[in-house]
Amino acid sequence: MQSNFKFPDNFTKLFIGLALVALVASCATVQQRAADLGPGFTQVKEGIYTFAPDATTTTCSFVVTNEGVVMIDACNSPLQSRNMLAAIRKVTDKPILFLINTETHGDHTGNNFIFSPPARIINAEGAGAGMKKEYSPKRAETFAAQSPEMREAVKGEKLIPPHIEYRDRMTLNVGERTFELFYLKNVHSFADTAVWMPKERVLFAGSAAVVRILQNLRPAVVIADVLASYKLMKALNPEVVVTGHGPVTTTKTFDENEAFYALLLKRVGEMAAMGKSLVEIKKELKMPEYADWNGQDRLGLYIDVAYKSVKK
Ligand SMILES: [Zn+2]
Query: From the CA of 260, how far away is ligand 1's center (Å)?
Result: 19
Alpha-carbon distance values, 119 to 35, 80, 100, 114, 124 (Å): 26, 17, 9, 9, 16
Which residues have beta carbons under 5 A from ligand 1 (an ion)? 103, 105, 207
Query: From the CA of 65, how far away is ligand 1's center (Å)?
Result: 27
Query: From the CA of 50, how far away is ligand 1's center (Å)?
Result: 17
Cα–chain center distance at 121: 16
How confident is the model at residue 311, as a pLDDT? 85
Per-residue model confidence as pLDDT tens digits over 295-306: 999 999 999 999
Q: How confident is the model at residue 32 (pLDDT cuts 50, 70, 90)?
A: very low
Query: From the CA of 190, how far away is ligand 1's center (Å)?
Result: 10
Query: From the CA of 192, how far away is ligand 1's center (Å)?
Result: 9
Query: From the CA of 109, how far away is ligand 1's center (Å)?
Result: 9
pLDDT at 97 over 50: yes
Query: From the CA of 142, how far away is ligand 1's center (Å)?
Result: 19
Q: Which of 168-172, 217-221, 236-240 has the lowest mean pLDDT?
A: 217-221
The percentage of the chain sitting over the pLDDT mark of 70, rounded to a whole number, equals 89
How confident is the model at residue 233, as a pLDDT? 97
